[in-house]
Amino acid sequence: MNADKIPDIIIGRLPVYLRALQQLSEKGMLTTSSQELGEIIGISAAQIRKDISQFGEFGKQGTGYSIPFLIERLRDILKVDRGWEVVIVGMGDVGHALAHYQGFANRGFHVNMVFDNDPQKIGQKVGDFEILDAAMLTEKIKQNKIKIAMLAVPATSAQEVADQLIKGGVKAILNYAPISLNVPHGVRVQYIDPVTHLQRMTYYLD
């Protein structure tokens, strides 16, 4: 099957496969098996074989998968071989944590600018970044052709800021505000809300 036609549910698992493969690679390993990957990730080996077979023939019976080859293919499919420029909006605790996070660069992302609307914060430094005025958000995003934003503003202003991001040309939003965003067709949103993740586990607790 063509990489353009991979079902969304499988696309959702590929970054997790990629992360596990990169962990193995950092340990110096060159080959792995669906069993080994499955144990690391907590998915059945059969599911992994099925998912990987969606985008080509990898590994042969008995020899397993080539880790560098599979990493390269996954990076290509997920388009993270190119280095995406990203902005962060909202310099509260979460925004600070994201601005300081060292794990973006080696996985395909580069923080380009950070924004806040608080006059006390604008012009201050967070790590290497000077906090820019959120009033310039749409303009700066257009100028710099940014397609991806991380949204770490309060729930009450998240929709308004999302609208400005989209007006500037952003097509993918990682939303940390605990509300569902209303976005036009063609714009993707992923949600990071610790409470929804906690709530989907409590169902299984006694």
**Residue ranges binding a copy of itself (CB under 8 A):** 6, 11-12, 14-16, 18-20, 23, 39-42, 77-80, 84, 86, 92-94, 96-98, 100-101, 103-104, 107-109, 147-148, 150, 171-172, 174, 178-180, 182-183, 188-205
Between 43 and 136, whose beta carbon lies closer to a copy of itself? Answer: 43
Residue pointed to by tokens 């970044």: 129
DSSP 32-43: E-HHHHHHHHTS
Q: How far is the CB of 190 from a copy of itself (least distance, A)?
A: 4
Between 45 and 174, whose beta carbon lies closer to a copy of itself? Answer: 174
Q: How far is the CB of 134 from a copy of itself (least distance, A)?
A: 19
Q: How far is the CB of 64 from a copy of itself (least distance, A)?
A: 18
Between 29 and 135, whose beta carbon lies closer to a copy of itself? Answer: 29
Distance, CA of 69 to CA of 77 (rounded, Å): 12
Residue pointed to by tokens 């993740």: 197
**Nearest-10 Cα torsion for 54, 72, 145, 115:** 100
Distance, CA of 21 to CA of 40 (rounded, Å): 10
72 near 46, Cβ under 8 Å?
A: no
Amino acid at 9: I
Between 135 and 160, whose beta carbon lies closer to a copy of itself? Answer: 160
Q: How far is the CB of 104 from a copy of itself (least distance, A)?
A: 7
Residue pointed to by tokens 């006390």: 120
Q: Reduced to 3 states, what is the DSSP secondary structure of residue 60?
A: strand
- CA distances (Å), origin 40, targets 31, 93, 138, 204: 14, 31, 41, 22
Q: How far is the CB of 102 from a copy of itself (least distance, A)?
A: 10
Between 27 and 60, whose beta carbon lies closer to a copy of itself? Answer: 27
Residue pointed to by tokens 């967070």: 126
Q: How far is the CB of 39 from a copy of itself (least distance, A)?
A: 7
Between 62 and 194, whose beta carbon lies closer to a copy of itself? Answer: 194
